[in-house]
Structure 1
């Protein structure tokens, strides 16, 4: 991505020390999303990475906001990939490992047929890669072709990109 986009993200991102626990420097993208120019710039940059997809999947929760904006820009629909237990049955689900336990992602099994569709995954942050990997597996299990993933912020020290190979991953800003 361009240096201008990265500089804008850096200028609008808030760092919160010792959150959610001591030693963690939380990267808060809320100010970026609340800024009209920042949101438009990030939307355009993410949309450029997803061109050619006929559906955008936004991951719970900030990925919903970004995914919807990207879908509007591309003229596609958006699929909300929800945390487990948030949707009424029937659902397609994918459970994945976390550092301490497991988590589940879900999409509706009725009313949305994604088989044969090309889907771009959009999220706010790429850390360890587990959530994007689980989303990719879920969408593929349902017959979709995942074209790639794009995020606003990538935390490179956590190695998420390596977990996702060979899936194309675009990040607008890396730390």
Structure 2
């Protein structure tokens, strides 16, 4: 499968979750075993260029779906970055703004050993707020952000610039697909 084949499996949903926002649904890609394997292998290949990774941190919820098989492919552990109030242990939290509101993500306070190299992963890099918050959370936990990886990026929304401004200009960003904003 080519990147164009993968992109053809994405579904754009206009005005979700609010008017003017186009949601990119990855469910059709996930339901196709060959596409899921191709996407995971493709992101893993890009991530390997960033050097060794100890942990993959995936942002709830689609970051879990992308991040868990990616962690296995990289021989790394997985850290869930969850919505506020979902984790059962003591947490560290990071608030951030979305294009349609405010949100908070959390991780267990002991989820990232000091100095661990962490790849932050989500399904999409859009405006960069969620990814920037995830990188900030990893750094607050004592980890080093090895990079940020995404299944798709919407370059027109400038998320890469926002992410690097917040997490550091030297933080590498990789994405498998470039998608128009809808």
Instruction: Output one character per residue of 1:31-75: Cα deviation in whole Å (capped at 9) or x when no partner.
Output: 001110110011011112222111111110011011100011111
Distance 1:28 1:71 in 2: 22
Q: Any idea what SS the aligned residue of 1:124 has?
A: strand
Are the counterparts in 1 of residues 67 and 122 from structure 2 also a CA contact under 8 Å? yes
Give the CA deviation at 1:154: 0.9
Instruction: Output one character per residue of 1:87-144: Cα deviation in whole Å (capped at 9) or x when no partner.
Output: 124101111223454311100114x342110000111011110011001011011111
Distance 2:14 2:103 in 1: 26
| TM-score, length-scaled by structure 2 | 0.86
Q: Number of residues paired by the alignment? A: 171
Distance 2:149 2:76 in 1: 16
Match of 2:5 in 1: 8
Are the counterparts in 2 of residues 5 and 42 from structure 1 also a CA contact under 8 Å? no
Please, which runs of 5 or more residues in structure 1 have no aligned partner?
none
Q: Any idea what SS the aligned residue of 1:128 has?
A: coil
Match of 1:91 in 2: 91
Match of 2:135 in 1: 136
Please state if 1:69 is matched with 2:69. Answer: yes
Match of 1:126 in 2: 125
Distance 2:138 2:150 in 1: 17
Match of 2:144 in 1: 145
Q: Any idea what SS the aligned residue of 2:151 has?
A: strand
Superposition RMSD in Å: 1.7
Match of 1:173 in 2: 177
Give the CA deviation at 1:27: 1.7
Please, which runs of 5 or more residues in structure 2 have no aligned partner?
none
Distance 1:118 1:137 in 2: 14
Distance 2:126 2:149 in 1: 12
| TM-score, length-scaled by structure 1 | 0.89
Are the counterparts in 1 of residues 58 and 121 from structure 2 also a CA contact under 8 Å? yes
Are the counterparts in 2 of residues 5 and 172 from structure 1 also a CA contact under 8 Å? no
Are the counterparts in 1 of residues 125 and 153 from structure 2 also a CA contact under 8 Å? yes
